[in-house]
Structure 1
Amino acid sequence: ESGKVRHFGVSNQNPMQMELLKKYLKEDLIINQLQLSIVHTPMIDAGFNVNMQNDPAVVRDSNILEYCRLNDVTIQAWSPFQHGMIEGPFVGNDAFPEVNAKLQELAEKYNVTDSTIAIAWILRHPANIQPVVGTMNTERLKDITRASDMELTREEWYELYRAAGNKLP
């Protein structure tokens, strides 16, 4: 009421949690912060594996990606360079040779860094996801923002997805 909060959002909530919270709010929930990176894609995997009998077909988040898109909730991708909750970055990590080779290949093609390509991958998704990059290094921020000036092709997006170890049916 005093104007100190302009917008409301949540973090790591599934659709039913959001619906329950909305029942008690006058304001709209317009943001959900969810973990997403090239190597952490469960909200995307389930959509590719509908009616399949494999692990990626298991819907663990109650279709949060689709819910947010249908309800005009912006997804903010936290930890876009991480491969787990606290395990560290996958970019430049020897444990992820295929995805890093593809990141490097595309970085050379577009004359940017591999981190820029990792952000461009998120920005290419049609849900208009906003990455939360978690850096205060101005040079890195300048570099990463170059992702907004480029668009990976669909083929490149899928090549990165598959290089991260994801299978397509």
Structure 2
Amino acid sequence: MKSMPLERRGISNSRLVYGCMGLGGDWAGSPLTKEDYITAEKAVEAALEIGITMFDHADIYKKGKAETVFGEVLKNRPDLRDQIILQSKCGIRFPDETGVHRFDFSKDHILASVDGILSRLGIEHLDVLLLHRPDALMEPEDIAAAFNTLRSAGKVRHFGVSNMTSAQMRFIQNSLPEPLVVNQLELSLARLDWIEQGILVNQKAGLNTNFADGILEYCQMADVQIQAWGPLAKGLFSGAAKVDSPETVKNTAALVAQLAAQYEAEPEAVVLGWLMKHPARIQPVIGTTDSKRVLACRDAVRVADAMTRETWYALLESSRGVRVP
């Protein structure tokens, strides 16, 4: 299996990313507790144990507390910073005294956001900064000015986006001297529109597919790393299916369990392995704070390497509920 785009760029060879959104307690702004710190430490240790060396943040996660608690982990382990790749996102603004919920890719906001991220994490630079969802008012020249300032100051080394179409990426890229290296999208065995968009070309069944055309192809041609958020589908196929779940979910969970036994792996590894088998060399971002579930993902690479085309399509068909056209 060929290497990932981030690996080819010399940025990271971590096949999985640990997503830190769940760290930091609640979303209400309550003070961090001792238990919040313990949860973060256990999650980070579990991620490191299975070979994860890339960690994903965003300035809004738990209103900054996710980065703060992770910063404490780094403070307690000063050797760790040089062993990992840190990625964060900015551009989403919650309602405040100046306005409603909104997106903001202005130069001033990007610069201020990065300063806050670095302060909360207690680090001098970010390895990767992503723009967090598209801003309808984005101006590529303003974004480029912010990126150039951050790069020149040594605060950010690489840049990317999340949840963007290929057209939006090209629109921004046209003003940038350096390539965008990541696009983070929701992809999973339960969220199949990214597959449907391709296999339902010239099919009536594809008229209602809601996934922008050409994202996967553009990212592969431009050597952009596709990262998948929500890759475990909230555990639907690895233990969270209920009696009243749709038949497609229950049948797919049963198939995943069968394959897990066949591969001598956990169901989570099968679900992730299915994603990672795709030629785009998708990099899943796992977000569970349960260290046992993190450890259950350890064989995802091995499963992906072993999975046949027939097995991949069997899982796709099971989740779709109908055969491919």
Q: How high is the TM-score relative to the length of structure 1? A: 0.88
Where structure 1 has 5 or more consecutive residues not aligned to the other structure, the ranges are 83-87
Distance 1:28 1:146, change over 3 A: same
Task: Specify which structure has the bigger relative contact order, considering alpha-carbon pairs within 8 angstroms and separated by 6 or more residues.
Answer: 1
Question: 2:318 matched to 1:158?
Answer: no
Supply the AA of the counterpart residue of 2:195. I
2:274 corresponds to? 121
Q: For residues 3-152 of structure 1, what are the structure 2 equivalents within 5 Å?
A: 3-55=154-206, 58=209, 60-82=211-233, 88-91=234-237, 92=239, 93-94=241-242, 95=245, 96-150=249-303, 151-152=306-307
2: distance between equivalents of 1:4 and 1:149?
36
Structure 1, residues 55-103: CA drift from partner, whole Å, max 9, x if none?
A: 3674631221111111111100000122xxxxx4422213111110111
CA distance in 2, matches of 1:56, 1:116: 32
Cα contact 1:75–1:130 (8 A) shared by 2: yes
Letter matched to residue 28 of structure 1: P
CA shift for structure 1 position 114: 1.0
Instruction: Report how far residue 136 of structure 1 moved.
Output: 3.9
Deviation at 1:46, TM superposition (A): 1.7
Aligned counterparts of 2:210 and 2:223: Cα–Cα separation in 1? 21
Question: Gaps spanning 5+ residues in structure 2: where?
Answer: 1-151
Does the CA contact (< 8 Å) of 2:196 and 2:206 recur in 1? no
- Looking at structure 1, the residues matched to 224 and 301 of structure 2 have their Cα atoms a distance apart, in angstroms, of 20
Determine what percentage of the aligned residue pairs are the same residue: 37
| Superposition deviation, residue 31 in structure 1 | 0.5
How far is the alpha carbon of 1:108 from its aligned partner? Answer: 1.0
Deviation readout 1:111-162 (Å, 9 max, x if unpaired): 2111110011011111100000113444332320211123211111111111
Tell me whether 115-124 or 49-58 shows the greater mean CA deviation. 49-58
Shift in alpha-carbon separation, 1:10–1:124, aligned structure 2, 3 A: same
Partner SS state of residue 51, structure 1: coil
Question: For the residues of structure 1 that align with 2:199 and 2:223, how far apart are their CA atoms?
Answer: 22
- CA-CA distance at 1:164 after TM superposition: 0.4
Aligned with 1:17: secondary structure? helix
Deviating beyond 4 angstroms after TM superposition, the runs of 4 or more aligned structure 1 residues are 56-59
